[in-house]
Amino acid sequence: MTDHGQPRASIVAIGDELLSGIRADANGPWLARRLSELGFRVGSILAVGDDPRRIGKTLRRALDESELVVCTGGLGPTTDDRTREAVAHAWDLELRESPEVLAEIRSRFRSRGYHEAPEPSRRMARLPEGASVLPNPAGLAPGLRLDLPGEAGGAADGVLILLPGIPREVRALLEGPVRDTLRDAFGEDLTPASVRTIHTTGIPESALVGRLEALLADVEGLEVAYRPSTLGVTLQLLGRGADADGRLDRAEERIGPVLAPYRYDAPDGDLATAVGRALNSSGLRIAVAESCTGGLVLKRLTDIPGSSGWVVGGVVAYADRIKEGWLEVPTSVLSAWGAVSEPVARAMAEGIRRRFGVEVGVGVTGIAGPGGGVEGKPVGTVWFGVAGARGTHAEKVWFPGGRAEVRERAAQHALHLVLRSVKAPGREERIRALDADPELSP
Amino acid sequence: MTDHGQPRASIVAIGDELLSGIRADANGPWLARRLSELGFRVGSILAVGDDPRRIGKTLRRALDESELVVCTGGLGPTTDDRTREAVAHAWDLELRESPEVLAEIRSRFRSRGYHEAPEPSRRMARLPEGASVLPNPAGLAPGLRLDLPGEAGGAADGVLILLPGIPREVRALLEGPVRDTLRDAFGEDLTPASVRTIHTTGIPESALVGRLEALLADVEGLEVAYRPSTLGVTLQLLGRGADADGRLDRAEERIGPVLAPYRYDAPDGDLATAVGRALNSSGLRIAVAESCTGGLVLKRLTDIPGSSGWVVGGVVAYADRIKEGWLEVPTSVLSAWGAVSEPVARAMAEGIRRRFGVEVGVGVTGIAGPGGGVEGKPVGTVWFGVAGARGTHAEKVWFPGGRAEVRERAAQHALHLVLRSVKAPGREERIRALDADPELSP
């Protein structure tokens, strides 16, 4: 695949607050991804302040280098919102009040129960001549499209899209009127990408790259991006051209077996969503006993809407006396093995399962740091237990990083263990067998 | 205060990954804030790809407009790291291997137990002629400073600072060698700012602005920035000039009484840190019973290093039967009032306090949504209870937003209630009285 046929795009964000470090530009990176999926080659993302002379100069330069410039911010009703006048001045266009836009703004204010639109909102109806209006599904200020002539002896004609700065409105505009108008303007030159997102956890980026690179080396027209985070690595497969979907299918088939132990499916990328679906469809309920994660596993599970259907609750047993008194971890086990040990993780998982009367019990005990590490149990050591009808699985993992990172990784690992134990073939039936054969429960 | 004497700065970030939307530029906004605190006026933040021709053109343009350009990324050992050669080419400088830098890189590899530095790391020692080296306290690739001549008939001379792209290294370089070299280069023109940060919670940004604006209107040489988030509003007071600190003192004194009910002090900006300090210094221990927040309050508390000294643990009572069985909330109360009610919040707080044997018990019960709202108890309704030695305080709050936002706000509010109850004058003694007079406990 070659890039060079793709139209070039630049992204410009307007606002003094972006330059004082108070707010980072939330639109630029998102727009870059969406424009590249639509078929553009993004050359730069730029943030500048509210000064109209600077805005005009910046936009002219950007259109010098790109066929498309998308600009966010400075379209609101206040006197700081100066993108419209900057564009008018830079290209020597008149600003004219649009009766249609003004009527639309007034009707929106009326529908919110106001008698009339406040005077400053009228500014939003003053458009540079020649601008076409892109209705804003999520806010008041409409987006604008201007087709601007190239420089004498310079670049070709270009399209300038002006959008408000609020991320929600940028997204709504881009997924509707902006996308349509871009397809209209660039249709034949665009080869939109097909994108597939794959979430993994439990394998570091370097290992994943090492194992997938060779498998994908000879697949043409495919870009693979890895987005690592504390919780795992998300892959993005991007294919262009006529058979993009077929290429993505073949790529996924090849890497499927390598990914299988680490992959999970969740539309929001959240492993807890995948755990919730698996528990829900199996009719299993869960309870969690947490020590070092201090409530984070339960927080992750109850983040999911509808989780009251499969989360019964849990105990944060931060002090050892709570592990003894509430989870029935024997005092002798605690003193013989220490709180961070296999028998204690097992006893916590089994204790919470029994005492909360659920099918799946989870225990997490470890050393999140910064203090508390000892010989043989350094900071980052965490023991996990998952108790089901047929018995309890326990394992130890060492996690790198500081306190927050160890806790995040440990909670993610606990969720991954639950998902695997619930989804393992035949496993579901075994866990379900609890009711039928209580003697098999630990 | 006038801006116009301040030297201008531009920030450039290099990397293809910044343009595909895979990663947002984490350095730009942070650098913007620090440079502005150091006394620069930041004019733009720009992200461009790894193409050396483009990098060179971008940096030349940036130096046209600014006396200082700080550029991050593209200094590593791989063939994608092309900032050095781009600069050399753009200003027609030779690239020369620096024996000192090479020796330093080799010695760092040796100190990590390698026999010799891998060949590609040698690239990091090839510097454009005239570059001075800024030692990197946190990584291998050093920062570089180049003093570059202005354009014929264009801008004046300028300083170009090249830094690696890893945020940790950028921060370490900027707080040490970069700051020193900038003071050296711009010393007399810089009027560094004094900055004071104030954290608040429980008051919306618009209300805060409304109440503070009039009080601060006539304080000269003061900039006030508001950074709102789901959890509260952080104020940044920035003063410049000779008496900057005095001005900040006077400003703080004026706004102190308005801020008092909402302000908390924590170096990391985390309210849980403030709660932990207050509990710790009062010798009080806490336990939490959570329903709608599902572990988030406990997670926030146990985020804090050393929290095992004052957090005993808690119960996530997601199902009503756990509220009854484990927290001793009477079944009659649950059925008469419903789980989201004042008597249940009180009973949860008192139950966890009694059963976990702690001085402070907290109960949180509410409707996080998206479902579950009923007449008189819409989604976002949350009841709180805080139980201490002298009794239990309960209150109801309605929080706007979706499920995640309601939970975040509710957990923050619970922490704020604890802080106020522990810090209220005389309150500490009353809570301490538990041991002395057990009959006063609920």
Domain ranges of chain B: 8-189, 194-264, 271-440
The end-to-end CA distance of chain B, in Å, is 58
- Give the model's pLDDT for residue B153: 52
- CB-CB contact of A137 with A48 (8 Å): no
- Give the model's pLDDT for residue A243: 86
- Could you tell me which residues come within 8 angstroms of residue A371 by beta carbon, excluding any fewer than 6 positions away? A379, B305, B306
Question: 3-state SS of chain A: helix, strand, coil percent to 5?
Answer: 45, 25, 35
> Model confidence over A231-253: pLDDT tens digits?
999 998 988 888 889 999 999 99
Residues in B touching A371 (Cβ below 8 Å): 305-306
- CB-CB contact of A56 with A89 (8 Å): yes
> Model confidence over A192-221: pLDDT tens digits?
888 899 999 998 888 888 889 889 888 888
Separation in Å, CA B399 to CA B8, B201, B293, B344, B396: 43, 13, 13, 19, 10
Distance of alpha carbon A160 from alpha carbon A150, whole angstroms:
12
Has this prediction a pTM greater than 0.90? no
Strand ranges in B318-412 using DSSP code E only, listed in sequence order: 360-366, 381-388, 391-398
Q: Is A271-440 assigned to CATH 3.90.950.20?
A: yes
- Residue A441: DSSP 8-state: -
Of B419, B412, B361, residue with least CA distance to B385: B361
Of A163, A203, A231, residue with least CA distance to A27: A163
> What is the dotted CATH code of the domain comprising B8-189?
3.40.980.10
Question: Cα dihedral angle (B166, B167, B169, B170), rounded to 10 degrees?
Answer: 110
Of B170, B94, B106, B103, residue with least CA distance to B138: B170
Under 8 Å CB pairs connecting chains A and B tally to 197
- CB-CB contact of B247 with B258 (8 Å): no
How distant is the Cα of A129 from the closest Cα of chain B, in angstroms?
Answer: 28
Provide the 10 A C-beta neighbour count for residue B155.
13
Of A17, A28, A294, the CB nearest to B298: A294
How distant is the Cα of A145 from the closest Cα of chain B, in angstroms?
Answer: 23
Question: Closest-CA residue in chain B for A47?
Answer: B45
Residue A331, token pair as written in the block: 């005092």
Of B316, B404, B377, residue with least CA distance to A305: B404
CA B332 to chain centre: 45
Of B31, B357, B310, B57, residue with least CA distance to B175: B31
Better pLDDT: B385 or A65: B385
Q: What percent of chain A has pLDDT over 70?
A: 93
Better pLDDT: A223 or B328: B328
Of A29, A290, A403, the CB nearest to B21: A29
Architecture field, domain A194-264: 2-Layer Sandwich (3.30)
Of B19, B44, B299, the CB nearest to A295: B299
- Give the model's pLDDT for residue B436: 33
Provide the 10 A C-beta neighbour count for residue A31.
27
Best mutation target among B19, B70, B174, B238 (most A Cβ atoms within 10 Å) is B19
Q: Please, what is the Cα angle at A37 between A34 and A38, to 5 degrees?
A: 90
Residues in B touching A370 (Cβ below 8 Å): 305
Distance of alpha carbon B33 from alpha carbon B69, whole angstroms:
14
Residues in B touching A268 (Cβ below 8 Å): none
Distance of alpha carbon B288 from alpha carbon A314, whole angstroms:
12
- CB-CB contact of B62 with B4 (8 Å): no
Better pLDDT: A335 or A440: A335
pLDDT at A424 over 80: no
Question: Cα dihedral angle (B321, B326, B331, B332), rounded to 10 degrees?
Answer: -150
- Give the model's pLDDT for residue B151: 63
How distant is the Cα of A100 from the closest Cα of chain B, in angstroms?
Answer: 32
* ipTM (interface predicted TM): 0.80
Of A21, A305, A356, the CB nearest to B29: A21
- Residue B373: DSSP 8-state: -
Better pLDDT: A120 or A44: A44
> Model confidence over A330-344: pLDDT tens digits?
999 999 999 999 999
Separation in Å, CA B402 to CA A88, A187, B372, B380, B416: 40, 38, 13, 8, 21
- CB-CB contact of A396 with A383 (8 Å): yes
Mean pLDDT of A155-181: 91
Of A20, A29, A58, the CB nearest to B24: A29
Q: Please, what is the Cα angle at B403 between B226 and A199, to 5 degrees?
A: 95
Residues in A touching B298 (Cβ below 8 Å): 294-295, 298, 316
Question: Closest-CA residue in chain B for A238?
Answer: B20
pLDDT at A382 over 80: yes
Question: Closest-CA residue in chain A for B297?
Answer: A295
As to burial, measured by CB atoms within 10 angstroms (0-12 exposed, 13-18 middle, 19+ buried), residue B422 is buried
Cβ–Cβ below 8 Å for B370 and A24: no
* H/E segment holding residue B225: strand B222-229
Of B386, B350, B410, B295, residue with least CA distance to A291: B295
Of B78, B71, B41, B44, residue with least CA distance to B56: B71
Q: What is the CA radius of gyration of chain A?
A: 28
Distance of alpha carbon B203 from alpha carbon A191, whole angstroms:
49
Distance of alpha carbon B98 from alpha carbon B22, whole angstroms:
34
Residue A358, token pair as written in the block: 């659920």
pLDDT tens across the length of chain B (442 residues): 334 578 999 999 999 888 877 778 889 999 999 999 899 999 999 999 989 999 999 999 999 989 999 999 999 887 788 999 999 999 999 999 999 999 998 988 888 777 777 777 888 999 999 999 999 998 889 999 999 987 655 546 899 999 999 899 999 999 999 999 999 999 888 888 888 999 999 988 888 888 898 898 888 888 888 888 889 999 989 888 888 899 999 999 999 999 999 999 999 899 999 999 999 999 999 999 999 999 999 999 999 999 999 999 999 999 999 999 999 999 999 999 999 999 999 999 999 999 999 999 999 999 999 999 988 999 999 999 999 988 999 999 999 889 999 999 999 999 999 999 998 744 444 444 333 333 323 2
Residue B285, token pair as written in the block: 């221990």
Residue B86, token pair as written in the block: 């781009």
DSSP per-residue codes, A167-231: HHHHHHHIIIIIHHHHHHHHGGG--PPEEEEEEE-SS-HHHHHHHHHHHHTT-TTEEEEEEEETT
- Residue B44: DSSP 8-state: E
Question: Closest-CA residue in chain A for B33?
Answer: A21
Distance of alpha carbon A403 from alpha carbon A400, whole angstroms:
9
Residue B97, token pair as written in the block: 């291997």
DSSP per-residue codes, A238-268: EE-STTHHHHHHHHHHHHHHHHTTTEE--TT
For residue B200, the SS3 value is: strand
Question: Cα dihedral angle (B70, B72, B74, B75), rounded to 10 degrees?
Answer: 80
> Model confidence over A273-322: pLDDT tens digits?
999 999 999 999 999 999 999 999 999 999 999 999 999 999 999 999 99
As to burial, measured by CB atoms within 10 angstroms (0-12 exposed, 13-18 middle, 19+ buried), residue A426 is exposed
Q: What residue type is assigned to position B336 of the chain?
A: A
Residue B83, token pair as written in the block: 């900032």
Mean pLDDT of A414-439: 61
